[in-house]
A and B are shown apart, each in its own frame.
Chain A
Amino acid sequence: MEIPTSRRKALKACFLTGIGLALATVEGSLPQKIHPRHANASQNREEGLQLSFLFDQNRCTGCKLCARSCKQANNWEKGVEWRKVIQDPSTKGAKMPRDKTLLSISCNHCAKPACASVCPVKAYSKRKEDGIVVQDQGKCVGCKYCLYACPYQALSYGEETKTVSKCHFCYERQDQGEIPICVDKCPTGALQMGELDFLKRRVGTIQQVGNLPNPSIVGKPSIIIVPKRALPK
């Protein structure tokens, strides 16, 4: 880079650098959380809203704050895991976060939840207003049929309460206008949420990566994934 030789040139260089920086950070380059109210883009819905998680594999560093904050906020009982961060074993030795391939996964609040269809006591219900699948632990008899039915293994059986529990998308927080704790605590914006139809329209998003189940045959899950981009070597 040329070193400016006069004050005019130095000021010009500073001004141009400032403009450049401002333009570069305006749109899309910094993580932004999508609030459901902003994400609500489709106006002519017939079936009602379906909220969804969005996970960007390029932004996740594997800090597991999503799972830890969920554990703290929802008091997971021993052995129960509502959300987990899993890593492709072939990237286990990676030092830099960008070389790791990660996925943070919980209940995907499917459009046709297998858990709800097999549960004999109707402990699962799907909220009409936002598509959240809520499980009523008070109704659960602990037959564990849903543990076999869920293709994402999102349900956990707790040996202490002898019931099944799962992620409820922080529906109580959402009812108060807040976002789920996992999305809130994600420091890089890797885990986001929004309306499914809206998130689906984002370029480069898919619903299945690697060995995950085929979404079209397992009850239409509400998860959108931005897959890992190949990095230049």
Chain B
Amino acid sequence: MEQSAPWGMLVVVYLFLGGLGAGAYLTAYGAEKGYFGTIPGLAKAGYLISAPAVAIGCVLLVFDLGQGLLKPWLIPGMLMNLSSVMTWGFVILSLFVVVATLHLYLHWKNIEAPKYLLSLGAFLAIATAVYTGFLLSVIKAVPLWNNHLIPLIFLASAMSTGLSASMLLAHYLKKVKVETTKVDKAHFYIIAAESILLFVFLAMAISGFKGLVAQQSAQNIIIGSLAPFFWIIFFLIGLIAPLAIFAHNTFRENKLSHNLVLSGDIAVVLGGFSLRYLIIAAAIPAWSGTLLM
């Protein structure tokens, strides 16, 4: 029974890609609605990322399933248990991939998508991002995870990574320097919200409010074996650096160079990935499997 952690890197990638795809769709949605000013190629980039990212994530999940390749006919059975969050995820992700692919096709053919389809897609995108967090937060036996702030943190992180990835792809597609103040402002508020939620989440764990095991998990992240990864890769590079860049562009008149903003976007994607990795890696079961009287 004392096995290594059941979920490995593939699940981290799956959670990350689920969030990235959902966030990219929301970016495209925002771009079409004109929330981000006029950035050429942003909507296209968002649609180009959304369906493939989630679809690749799903394929990775199938690879990760013990029976995924041995008995693939068992996979449709994952729709059986409507009380399982994983079943909800299966439904949400399947629908999302279908809707996002349809959007990509419509965008490609320059056909205007019907309004309800756009709203349905946005709803499914939010559901996808929230699901990746909810999958973890319903697990009572892992005290660090059993906190419904995780879906919100993952939603913020999904919006942020999706926006960054879309900005990077849009830049790659169009190769033009654009005025990004509106995007930077939106991005600043998303990362700020994510930071606050994450701070509350870690504070709940480290204070012992979520029990001793959650405290131990949080200690692993903050001062333990995961600390170098957390502080350097996630906190400094993935959170503080982009937050500072976007804050500068939001509140100062003199704007940072476009390349610096784009490196901030790369940092955001890295931060989003390391966030999932940290939360999966820090999982400690409520009971260690040993007897301590």
| Inter-chain contacts of A152 with B (CB < 8 A) | 287
User: Do most interface residues of chain A lie in helix, strand or loop, or is the interface mixed?
Assistant: loop
Given A101-B291, A120-B81, also A142-B68 (CB < 8 A): yes
In the bound complex, what is the Cα–Cα distance between A89 and B288 (angstroms)? 13
B6 touches A147 (CB 8 A): yes
In the bound complex, what is the Cα–Cα distance between A3 and B50 (angstroms)? 96
A-B contact count (CB 8 A): 134
- Cβ contacts B1-30/A at 8 Å (1 or 0 each): 111001100000000000000000000000
Which residue of A87, A122, A153 contacts B80 across the interface (Cβ within 8 Å)?
A122
Given A81-B1, A122-B80, A156-B1, also A141-B75 (CB < 8 A): yes
Q: Which of A208-233 contact B (CB under 8 A)?
A: 209-213, 217-218, 228
Binds A, one of B136-144, B177-185, B201-209, B267-275: B136-144
Say yes or no for A180: interface residue by CB 8 A criterion.
Answer: no
B293 touches A90 (CB 8 A): yes
A148 touches B139 (CB 8 A): yes
CB closest residue in chain B, given A124: B81
Q: Which of B276-293 contact A (CB under 8 A)?
A: 283, 285-293
B1 touches A210 (CB 8 A): no
In the bound complex, what is the Cα–Cα distance between A81 and B283 (angstroms)? 22
A89 touches B6 (CB 8 A): no
Count of chain A residues with a beta carbon within 8 Å of a chain B beta carbon: 47
In the bound complex, what is the Cα–Cα distance between A168 and B261 (angstroms)? 58
Count of chain B residues with a beta carbon within 8 Å of a chain A beta carbon: 42
Say yes or no for B195: interface residue by CB 8 A criterion.
Answer: no
| Inter-chain contacts of B78 with A (CB < 8 A) | 120-121, 141, 143
Say yes or no for A150: interface residue by CB 8 A criterion.
Answer: yes
Given A79-B3, A153-B289, A154-B1, also A114-B66 (CB < 8 A): no
In the bound complex, what is the Cα–Cα distance between A210 and B79 (angstroms)? 39
Given A118-B84, A148-B139, also A211-B292 (CB < 8 A): yes
In the bound complex, what is the Cα–Cα distance between A152 and B81 (angstroms)? 22
| Inter-chain contacts of B285 with A (CB < 8 A) | 148, 151, 153
- Expressed in whole angstroms, the minimum distance between the Cβ of B215 and any Cβ of chain A is 14
A interface residues with partner B (beta carbon < 8 Å): 79, 81, 84, 86-90, 101-103, 114, 117-122, 139-145, 147-154, 156-157, 161-164, 209-213, 217-218, 228
